[in-house]
Amino acid sequence: MMDRAESALQFISPVERDVWVAMGMALQSEYGDAARDAWINWSRQAESFRELDARTVWKSFKGAGVSIASLYHEAKSNGWRDEGFQRPTQEQMQAQRAAAQERATKEGQERIRLASAAAKKADWLLSQCKHERHAYLDSKGLTELEGLVWWPDEKTNLLCIPMYVAAKLVGVQMIDREGSKKYLSNQVTSKAEYVFDGGSIGATDWWVEGYGSGLSLRACLHALKVRYRIHVTFSAGNLQRMAHSGYVVADNDVSGVGEVAAIATGLPYWMPERSGQDINDVHQAMGTFRTSQVLGKWVREMKEKKAAA
């Protein structure tokens, strides 16, 4: 059923080509050619719409790699809520138009230019990386894993995590041996993610803040033999903006920021009992099997609670 996707699509403008293309890719990845007419009908809102061009573009999407999750978090950022079929209000539509107009200004175009330059730098930087072990992964108890590691000089090595918006590379998170994190200047970070995809058909979305948390969660879900799509969102604010379905695995920050973000998503969330811990801390302390059993029990409880509601 495409009702949910079509409801979300009403909150997205097809005017900007990058968004238009990404939403088509997302629909095709989930529903195949059955979603073509829905995408084309939505596309008619743009003055530049040409049906023959749209059909040609649709055929070019094969295996493009954008999941339906991209559509849902784009819609959510524009005010959509997963509560049955809806249409955007006049205020929401005006906000989208205003955002598009702002991007068309000189200042907006300059930001786009700088962001594009950062994306190109990220692409170059990733091409220089080697697959090898890193001290940060060791510190997370993941000593058997390798990552993308960049050596800017003989004494420095940085673990590099690609960051994508709608499957388009926008930047990179760089983590040093002590765990300090930084990004490229002027890169896009809002709505950026890194996804561990354990089988897109029938997969459940899971949302975490950090890369280490994502790796620990992947080990646990793999042990449970479930299909998953883990979204590493890089910050609590980003997690709150993006999470639209499935489950959240929150950080139990001393400040409470992680739980506040999890609650704001409206999704079921699991969080370590001890303050100051995330799932990686639990994984290190308890091991994959025991941590996966805790998560599996929690998921069953959430499903029973939903069925009883």
Domain residue spans of the chain: 3-104, 107-183, 194-308
Rg, Å, the chain Cα set: 20
Angle CA 45–51–57, to nearest 5: 100
Three-state secondary-structure class, residue 253: coil
164 in Cβ contact with 26 (< 8 Å): no
- Answer yes or no: is pLDDT of 200 > 70: no
Cross-strand pairs, 173:
161, 183
- Answer yes or no: is pLDDT of 309 > 90: no
The phi-psi region of residue 208 (left if phi > 0; otherwise alpha if psi is between -120 and 50; otherwise beta) is: beta
- Answer yes or no: is pLDDT of 286 > 90: yes
267 in Cβ contact with 248 (< 8 Å): yes
Q: Give every CB contact of residue 308 below 8 A, 6+ residues apart in sequence.
A: none
Residue type at position 277: Q
What is the Cα 33 distance to its own chain's centre? 24
- Answer yes or no: is pLDDT of 148 > 90: yes
The pLDDT, as a whole number, for residue 117 is 96
Fold of the domain built from segment(s) 194-308: Rossmann fold (3.40.50)
Both tokens of 199, joined, read 């089988």
Per-residue pLDDT reduced to its tens digit, 7-60 = 889 888 888 788 888 899 889 888 889 999 999 999 998 888 899 999 999 988
The one-character DSSP state at 86 is: -
Average pLDDT of span 265-284: 96
Residues 225-252, buried b or exposed e (16+ Cβ, 10 A)? ebebbbbbbbbbebbbbbbbbbbbbbbb
The pLDDT, as a whole number, for residue 249 is 98
Q: Give every CB contact of residue 155 below 8 A, 6+ residues apart in sequence.
A: none
Report the C-alpha gap between 232 and 192 in whole angstroms.
9
- Answer yes or no: is pLDDT of 102 > 90: no
The pLDDT, as a whole number, for residue 96 is 73
Give the number of residues written for the chain.
Answer: 309
Per-residue pLDDT reduced to its tens digit, 295-306 = 999 999 999 988
Both tokens of 195, joined, read 């996804």
168 in Cβ contact with 196 (< 8 Å): no
